[in-house]
Structure 1
Amino acid sequence: MKTFSSLMGNQTLLPIIQAATVEQGVNIAKAMHEAGIHLVEVVLRTEASLDIIKQIKKELPDLLVGAGTILNESILDDALKAGSDFIITPASSPTLLHALKNCPVPVLPGVSTSADILLATEFGYSELKLFPASLSGGSQFLKAMGSVFKSVSFCPTGGINANNKADYLNLSNVFAVGGTWVAPANWVESQQWNLITSACKDALL
């Protein structure tokens, strides 16, 4: 099984797509792809989310598209049927981690405390998402966890932006950062796709 970080490769930004319509989602993905992004996460927070994954895969076949906000086995099944290339959860529980055990694609479980991290490692995970990063101790928390969980690396998301992403990426146990700052709702609503492309290019520097 491939790891999530191996899918990311040299890309240190996990760009998050949250859109109300399929058209919006596809346009965001195209703008991100234009910047050199090869992997995106679509959060399953709107009715259109699963259809967005399907359509992005159809229109941009070389773009890896994963599903976020996976909370239970039912949502997991829906995401896999939609063709998700990877799975991301906002939190972890024994029930959810059991459901993910035989997942055919890479999984990035969400954690917010040291107890969560321990639970995820007990299930064999060594790559985790810290969420919401800014409310869960931020880069200082991850720095402290580095000395306890030496074999665990993180992709923090939540409250990360252009100004503080370096605080996280400078840590040896962080392989990428996730964020919505590269595609804020007002840019999407005003169809300023070029701004999304520019923000992604800047984030990749």
Structure 2
Amino acid sequence: MSSHDLAASADAFVDQVSRAKIIPVLRTRTAREAVTAASRCFDAGLTMVELTATTPDWPQALRQVRADHPRHLVGVGTVLDADQARIALEAGADFIVSPCPAPAVRAALASRVPFMEGGLSVGEVLASATHGVAKLFPAHVGGIDYLRSLLAIAPGAHVVPTGGVALTDVAGWLAAGATAVGVGRDLVEAEDMVSAIREALDGP
């Protein structure tokens, strides 16, 4: 793949994340729960989901979700080492997410799929953003004002806050400049997910 192709791929992923607005983070107790939660998210109109490598039998869940929803983006988060990255690639992940700087993961991926690398400090987040989309984690530690301050010095950075993000705060994060927002339990446990998403995007 040429450097031009790599840049085009990175730009396309940024666009997909920006249009998604909400990225469900599916940290479930079983692979079956992950598959069910992913289906609910897609049925509710969301376009991408992030399974997590902390879920038992997550590669099995990833293969099933990929087979059931071939037109949607399915990634794997909480990827901490090269072995997990290779397994995720083999199982068909469209993108990979780490909660912290993970050079070994980036090297293992070799730009074959987009990599959303996480960080909390200004240096970590901005370094990750130079590769495409950065993950701010855990987002609740600094809060919305922290993201706003961070983007004041790097207005072109693409950042996805995740970790302790409530659905009621989604509109606030987006207004502060987040490219999209990662939401976990609040979204997965919503009885009426369609209404919950609409209210989250509309804000209070």
Q: TM-score, normalising length from structure 2? A: 0.84
Aligned equivalent of 1:109:
117
CA shift, 1:142, in A, is: 1.2
Kindly indicate whether the alpha-carbon contact (under 8 Å) linking 2:49 and 2:75 is maintained by their aligned counterparts in 1: yes
Kindly indicate whether the alpha-carbon contact (under 8 Å) linking 2:80 and 2:102 is maintained by their aligned counterparts in 1: no
Gaps of 5+ in 2: 1-5
Kindly indicate whether the alpha-carbon contact (under 8 Å) linking 1:153 and 1:175 is maintained by their aligned counterparts in 2: yes
Partners in 1 of 2:126 and 2:38 — Cα distance?
Answer: 34
**Identity value in percent:** 28
Aligned equivalent of 1:157:
162
The one-letter amino acid paired with 1:199 is A
> Cα 1:200–1:93, aligned 2, differ >3 Å: closer, same or farther?
same
CA shift, 1:110, in A, is: 0.5
Partners in 2 of 1:37 and 1:95 — Cα distance?
Answer: 30
2:71 is aligned, of 34, 41, 62, to: 62
2:200 is aligned, of 194, 199, 203, to: 203
Kindly indicate whether residue 33 of structure 2 is the aligned counterpart of residue 29 of structure 1. Answer: no
Is the partner of 1:51 in helix, strand or coil? helix
1:179 is aligned, of 154, 179, 183, to: 183
1:128 is aligned, of 124, 134, 159, to: 134
Partners in 2 of 1:110 and 1:37 — Cα distance?
Answer: 22
Gaps of 5+ in 1: 188-193
> Cα 1:14–1:118, aligned 2, differ >3 Å: closer, same or farther?
closer
Partners in 2 of 1:61 and 1:93 — Cα distance?
Answer: 28
Q: RMSD over aligned Cα, in angstroms? A: 2.1
Kindly indicate whether the alpha-carbon contact (under 8 Å) linking 1:35 and 1:201 is maintained by their aligned counterparts in 2: no
Kindly indicate whether residue 66 of structure 2 is the aligned counterpart of residue 77 of structure 1. Answer: no
Kindly indicate whether the alpha-carbon contact (under 8 Å) linking 1:22 and 1:55 is maintained by their aligned counterparts in 2: no
Q: TM-score, normalising length from structure 1? A: 0.84
The one-letter amino acid paired with 1:103 is S
- Comparing both structures, which one devotes a greater share of its residues to helix? 2
Q: Residue by residue, what CA displacement relative to the aligned partner does 1:105-160 show, whole Å, maximum 9, x if unpaired?
A: 11111011012134435xx424201000001x121111111132233121101111
Kindly indicate whether the alpha-carbon contact (under 8 Å) linking 2:137 and 2:163 is maintained by their aligned counterparts in 1: yes
> Cα 1:138–1:197, aligned 2, differ >3 Å: closer, same or farther?
same
Aligned residues: 192
